[in-house]
Amino acid sequence: MFNLEVCTNYNPTGLDALTLENVNTGEFIMAFVGTDAHAEYGMQMQDLKTNVKLLNGVTPPQLQEANAYFQRMQAELAKSGHEISYLCVATR
């Protein structure tokens, strides 16, 4: 069973991330959603722009926000003696 800790459903950069706690093991899993070619509300265009920037060696705002989200969650969990156990990325 998982407990949803934090969810970033929408970010202007197109980032979609969430952090889950496995209540049986106490482990924390951070999940990032990758490019969604079928996204609603125009977000697929933001994802595609991010992909093009990656090919050009530019760090896109979406990746900067992903790093900031990771740092915020790691700091928040550290306050209670926890840390991120796993990272995963999914695409559709």
pLDDT tens, position by position, 21-56: 888 888 999 888 766 666 665 556 766 777 777 788
Domain-wise residue ranges, the chain: 2-90
- Quote the CA–CA distance of 23 and 71 in Å, as a whole number: 22
Question: Pairing relation of β-strands 28-33 and 17-22?
Answer: antiparallel
Residue 59: partners with Cβ closer than 8 Å, 6 or more residues away? 53
- Judged by average pLDDT, the poorest of 7-11, 14-18, 44-48, 83-87 is 7-11
Q: Which residues contact 84 (CB under 8 A, 6 or more apart)?
A: 19, 28, 29, 30, 70, 73, 74, 77
Q: What span, in angstroms and rounded, lies between the C-alpha atoms of 4 and 81?
A: 18
Whether the per-residue pLDDT at 1 is higher than 70: the answer is: no
Determine the pLDDT at residue 60. Answer: 82
Q: What is the pTM of this model?
A: 0.74
